[in-house]
Homo-oligomer: A and B are copies of this chain.
Amino acid sequence: MSTAPSDTFHVYDTTLRDGAQQEGMNLSVADKLAIAQLLDDLGVGFIEGGWPGAVPKDTDFFARAKKELTLRNAQLAAFGATRRAGVRAYDDPQVRALLDADTPVVTLVAKSDVRHVERALRTTREENLAMITDTVAFLVGEGRRVVLDAEHFFDGYRYDSAYALSAVDAAFSAGAEVVTLCDTNGGMLPSWVGEITAEVSSAVGHEALASGAVRLGIHAHNDSGCAVANSLAAVEAGATHVQGTVNGYGERTGNADLVAVVANLELKRGMTLLAGNGLRDATRIAHAISEVTNISPFARQPYVGASAFAHKGGLHASAIRVDPDMYQHTDPTSVGNDMRMLVSDMAGRASIELKGRELGFDLAGQAELLARVTNRVKDGEAAGYTYEAADASFELVLLEEMGQRPGYFSVESWRTIVETVPGRAAGPDAEALAEATVKLSAGGERHVSTGEGNGPVNALDQALRDALTRVYPEIERFELIDFKVRILDSEQGTDATTRVLIEHTDGVRSWSTVGVGPNVIEAAWEALTDGHVYGLLKAGVEPL
């Protein structure tokens, strides 16, 4: 890791801890592992995984992360608090849980606003400083790199700067590598952050900061709409550690959008912050993370939003074609995004052509086919399909338009019934049972099969597999590993359109398909059957 950008500047992601505080977000351990892997792909230096000991799910996360994650770029950080008042760090189970998480980095939250020390923590100014000193020193002694998050730092500094600085000093004196100045309530304006960070830099000493022996960090929230700018202001004033979250997730108005901060610093300030040129994958990764969190992406999000480089035609259209740089602040490909012309299909065809090439189809010379596929995709997306997250469905559309989609089976009808268990009262804790019947033709014969499950999609999947494996034993190897539902235009109640994304695996590779319909079962059925078709195709099976 000696040449990693993280040695000179810390890009520190807290999506899994502070981001998860967002209203409506509820991540499972599997979700957290999937997000951590994506963050590592992005090339961040540090991933804060959660609060082991305090949150049981987070304890599990660190245990599983050690076994299941292969991180190429990032170090994991466990988050926790300084020891309680009046006990030794060694004796505080919360502190010991941080050690047990077995991460190279431990991040401690501590008070630096004397009002919070006295009124929320209800301890003395001196004991709070001792809590910092003891906990940092204990963890450093155990071989951890320690980051101290100075909570409410800016508010505290404006109220009593001497005390706020004494907290910073306590942390560094005890061996902390970073002290993060936190705008916990998010109300700072950039000029305040800039001034205060510059004063703290002077107090800590410019030489110590320049040597990299100690660092100041910034942790901003977006309550004043300035989280990105506040992060930049701190960096301009000497901070070399930036905390934030992907998609700006977080409590209230969210945390600083880490991708926007990094993109500004890399593209506009010429810094190199992410490993492996990760910024070029930022759009894909931000969207993939929003699939895991199941929180709809915000189209207007800087850099990675679907609208971020979308131009309404008219006045600018012809000029943009001549010289796009005159009408966009940066090259969209630098963050993995695309320019879109909202009135012209120019951009559409280009990306379909590119996508085709990615899948091994050369569409460049086939203008008519390209136009047909582009229209098909546009109509599909207007109806709710998303091919971005369902490569297998896109490839099936392409094959269909080329007249090459294989016909492994032909469905006659299907049905599923969900009902309360007969003979048992349908009280609040009653369980329902699902049954499904599928009738289809394959290999020249008609097959009728029935499946049971604890849900209608599960039952349909069982019935479909049962019928198909009789003809195509390869289906045995396929497994359904992910199933996501999103309601589109949800303000229409149960009449809304439903999109289902399904992921299958054959144990080696996995593939995703999409189905759309007014009905979750119907949408799932489309994605299920496409998933089996694609799996058979990739297994090299000939239709019987």
A residues at B contact (CB < 8 Å):
21-24, 26, 28, 30, 34, 55, 115-116, 119-120, 152, 185-191, 222-226, 228-230, 232-233, 236, 248, 250-254, 257, 260-261, 263-264, 268-269, 294, 296, 298-303, 305-313, 319, 322-323, 326-330, 342, 344-346, 381, 386, 388-389, 411-420, 422, 425-428, 431-432, 434, 453-458, 461, 479-496, 498, 517-522, 525-526
Q: CB distance B229 to A432 under 8 Å?
A: no
Complex partner residue of A490 from B230, B299, B417, B484, CB under 8 angstroms: B484
Given pairs A252-B309, A412-B425, A458-B493, 4 additional interface contacts (CB within 8 A): A119-B323, A224-B264, A250-B300, A458-B494
Residues of chain B within 8 A (CB-CB) of A494 are 453, 455, 457-458, 461, 480, 483
Complex partner residue of A326 from B119, B248, B252, CB under 8 angstroms: B119
Q: CB distance B498 to A455 under 8 Å?
A: yes
Residues of chain B within 8 A (CB-CB) of A55 are 345-346
Distance to closest chain B CB from A386 (angstroms): 6
Q: CB distance A226 to B228 under 8 Å?
A: yes
Q: CB distance A305 to B389 under 8 Å?
A: no
Complex partner residue of A23 from B30, B342, B416, B517, CB under 8 angstroms: B342
Q: CB distance B483 to A485 under 8 Å?
A: no
Residues of chain B within 8 A (CB-CB) of A480 are 493-494
Please give me the residue from chain B that is nearest to A419 by CB atom: B415
Residues of chain B within 8 A (CB-CB) of A327 are 185
Q: CB distance A322 to B483 under 8 Å?
A: no
Q: CB distance A254 to B519 under 8 Å?
A: no
Residues of chain B within 8 A (CB-CB) of A306 are 23
Residues of chain B within 8 A (CB-CB) of A229 are 189-190, 225-226, 228-230
Tell me whether A313 and B189 are in contact in the complex, defined as CB-CB below 8 angstroms, given that A455-B520, A495-B454, A519-B432 are known contacts: no
Please give me the residue from chain B that is nearest to A420 by CB atom: B413
Tell me whether A224 and B329 are in contact in the complex, defined as CB-CB below 8 angstroms, given that A493-B481, A494-B480, A522-B432 are known contacts: yes
Residues of chain B within 8 A (CB-CB) of A312 are 21-23, 251
Q: CB distance A307 to B252 under 8 Å?
A: yes
Distance to closest chain B CB from A34 (angstroms): 8
Q: CB distance A186 to B329 under 8 Å?
A: yes
Distance to closest chain B CB from A25 (angstroms): 9
Report the bound CA distance from A322 to B34 in whole Å: 39
19 inter-chain pairs at a CB distance below 8 angstroms, sorted by A residue, are A23-B299, A23-B306, A23-B342, A24-B388, A116-B326, A190-B190, A222-B300, A224-B302, A225-B261, A225-B302, A226-B232, A252-B311, A294-B486, A414-B419, A432-B517, A458-B495, A458-B519, A481-B491, A483-B493
Residues of chain B within 8 A (CB-CB) of A308 are 223, 252-253
Complex partner residue of A520 from B191, B307, B485, CB under 8 angstroms: B485
